[in-house]
């Protein structure tokens, strides 16, 4: 099966916004291939739309459309009367499909099972792509009626071992714009360290991160991503430590908070960094330290990545510098200090090129090619 000139509906938990993650990049790559792509986020719960309303509009890219929708029944039924919720949802999805026209492929990233694959006609090819850890019970429900399951870690795929469904490991993808085609070793004396993502997440190891910033006054720490709830398409509920943590960052003289920026701007600015830092508490981490989308964006810039333990990268030795302990970041401050002390070695031209060449395997163009191959194997 060739993923061209198809009608594809992508199901997401997040609204389309400035911060791009896997589902956004896949949508763009599929649209570039001439597919008509519809992006379906979760239902409107802020009463922006009328009850049962469905609105399809352009996202500003050729062949790519946003599908805003509001359920014609109370969302709370999802939790209190699931059978009724699923029954009513099928009628609502039928209304969505009247707006989009016939769909060839349903491509779901919905870990919450808010819009199940089973709500769509059996004539559609159904793909499920969980890219974050999720509970086994809801995972099995969300994957019901999938024809193929793709994921970025083997740990996630193992949750579906009881299903008679093909499972395919892909790793995360990376957009071409994050690949550095102009590798240099030049420095101006300032060590710039990059971090990107949602900094309101409760699974950030805030104490360790603040310790690293405090202990490395000679380095500038540049943060791109959510630092205010109203400015992000990725923010969920906040824990009580989120805003005080951001306030602590704002007080550090060697911290620069850029906020959420468009992907193209982020891709340019990451290439100006000398190192990258990932600092999650694996015990709280929604990905359980198995893999992160941002790693390939960092590696594509060429410079060294220092991180908490990431299980997927055990099979790629030398690609990132990570602590050995699966559940503790106790050694991360010292590892970071060591890397900065030997930055010329870690950022030698040969090592930068190794990281960049590794990253090229996972561009979204290559990823969609791999998915095409898998579909030709498993879909008859």
Residue 73 burial (10 A CB sphere; 0-12, 13-18, 19+): middle
8 A C-beta contact, residue 120 and residue 24: no
Based on the domain organization, do 142 and 192 belong to the same domain? no
DSSP per-residue codes, 247-278: HHHHH-TTEEEEES--HHHHHHHHTT-SEEEE
Confidence of residue 85 (pLDDT cuts 50, 70, 90): very high
Percent of the chain topping pLDDT 90: 81
| Same domain? 374 vs 264 | no
Task: Tell me: do 71 and 211 sit in the same domain.
Answer: no
Question: Which CATH number belongs to the domain containing residue 39 in this structure?
Answer: 3.40.50.2000
122 occurs within a structural domain: yes
32 assigned to some structural domain: yes
Determine the average pLDDT of the residues in 309-328: 95
- What CA–CA distance (Å, rounded) separates 372 from 380? 13
Same domain, 110 and 131: yes
117-154 pLDDT, tens digit per residue, is 999 999 999 999 998 877 768 778 888 899 999 999 99
pLDDT digits (tens, 9 = 90+) for 153-175: 998 999 898 899 999 999 999 99
Q: Whole-angstrom Cα distance, residue 8 to residue 124? A: 9
Cβ neighbors of 34 (< 8 A, separation 6 or more) are: 4, 5, 63
Q: Residue 71 pLDDT more than 90?
A: yes
Dist CA 158 CA 169 (whole Å): 10
**In the chain, what percentage of residues exceed pLDDT 70?**
96
Range of the domain at 265: 176-360
pLDDT at 103 over 70: yes
Q: What pLDDT, on a 0 to 100 scale, did the predictor assign at position 240? A: 84
Is the pLDDT higher at 103 or at 237? 103
Count of the separate structural domains present in the chain:
2
On whether both 314 and 351 belong to a single domain, the answer is yes
Instruction: Say whether pLDDT at 235 is over 50.
Output: no
- In a domain? residue 150: yes
Domain shared by 232 and 139, yes or no: no
The CB-based long-range contact list for 140-143 (8 Å cut-off, 24+ gap) reads 141/113, 141/116, 142/108, 142/110, 142/111, 142/112, 142/113, 142/116, 142/117, 143/117
Task: Give Cα 188 distance to the centre of its chain.
Answer: 32
Which stretches of the chain are DSSP H helices?
22-32, 77-80, 82-100, 136-142, 154-158, 206-215, 242-251, 263-270, 293-301, 332-341, 343-346, 349-360, 364-378
The answer to whether residue 90 is domain-embedded is yes
Dihedrals phi, psi of 132, to nearest 5 degrees: -130, 160
Q: Are 154 and 186 within one domain? A: no
| pLDDT for res 141 | 86
Tell whether 2 is covered by a domain: no
Predicted confidence band of residue 230 (pLDDT cuts 50, 70, 90): low
Give the contacts of 195 (CB within 8 A, at least 6 positions apart).
221, 222, 223, 224, 225, 276, 277, 278, 279
The span from the CA of 92 to the CA of 52, in Å, is 7
Together in a domain, 247 and 304: yes
- Same domain for 38 and 143, yes or no, is yes
Is residue 161 domain-shared with residue 58, that is, in the same domain? yes
Tally of residues, the chain: 380
pTM: 0.87
The CA distance from 326 to 375, in Å, is 34
For residue 272, the model assigns a pLDDT of 95
Q: Is 65 helix (H, G, I), strand (E, B) or coil?
A: strand
Indicate whether 1 belongs to any domain.
no
Verify that 133 and 227 share a domain, yes or no: no
Q: Phi then psi for 321, rounded to 5 degrees?
A: -95, 105
Is the domain of 87 the same as that of 167? yes
**Can you tell me the mean pLDDT for 267-287?**
94
Phi, psi of 318 (to 5 degrees): 90, -10
Q: 128 lies in a domain?
A: yes
Query: Is 324 contained in some domain?
Result: yes
């Amino acid at each position: 099966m060739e993923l061209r000139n198809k009608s594809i509906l992508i199901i997401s938990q997040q609204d389309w916004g400035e911060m791009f993650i896997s589902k956004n990049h896949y949508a763009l790559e599929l649209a570039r291939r001439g597919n008509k792509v519809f992006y379906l986020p979760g239902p409107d719960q802020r009463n922006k739309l009328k009850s049962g309303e469905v609105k399809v509009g352009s996202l500003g890219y050729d062949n790519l459309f946003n599908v805003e929708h509001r359920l014609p029944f109370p969302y709370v039924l999802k939790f209190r009367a699931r059978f009724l919720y699923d029954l009513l949802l099928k009628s609502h999805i039928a209304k969505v499909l009247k707006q989009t026209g016939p769909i060839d492929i349903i491509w779901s990233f919905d870990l919450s099972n808010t819009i199940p694959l089973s709500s769509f006609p059996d004539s559609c090819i159904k793909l499920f792509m969980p890219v974050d850890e999720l509970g086994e019970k809801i995972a099995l429900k969300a994957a019901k009626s999938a024809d193929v399951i793709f994921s970025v870690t083997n740990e996630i795929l193992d949750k579906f071992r009881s299903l008679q469904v093909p499972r395919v490991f892909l790793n995360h993808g990376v957009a071409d714009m994050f690949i550095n085609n102009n590798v240099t070793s030049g420095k101006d004396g300032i060590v710039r360290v990059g971090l990107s993502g949602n900094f309101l997440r409760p699974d950030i190891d805030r104490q360790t991160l603040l310790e690293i910033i405090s202990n490395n006054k000679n380095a500038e720490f540049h943060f791109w991503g959510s630092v205010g709830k109203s400015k992000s398409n990725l923010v969920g509920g906040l824990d009580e430590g989120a805003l005080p943590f951001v306030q602590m960052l704002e007080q550090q003289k060697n911290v620069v908070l850029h906020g959420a920026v468009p992907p193209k701007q982020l891709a340019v600015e990451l290439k100006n960094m000398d190192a990258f830092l990932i600092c999650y508490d694996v015990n709280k981490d929604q990905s359980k330290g198995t893999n992160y989308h941002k790693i390939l964006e960092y590696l594509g810039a060429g410079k060294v990545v220092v991180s908490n333990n990431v299980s997927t990268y055990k099979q790629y030795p030398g690609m990132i510098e990570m602590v050995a302990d699966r559940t503790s970041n106790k050694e991360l401050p010292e590892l970071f200090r060591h890397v900065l002390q030997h930055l010329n070695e870690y950022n030698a031209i040969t090592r930068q090129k190794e990281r960049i060449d590794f990253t090229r395997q996972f561009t979204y163009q290559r990823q969609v090619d791999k998915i095409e191959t898998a579909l030709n194997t498993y879909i008859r």
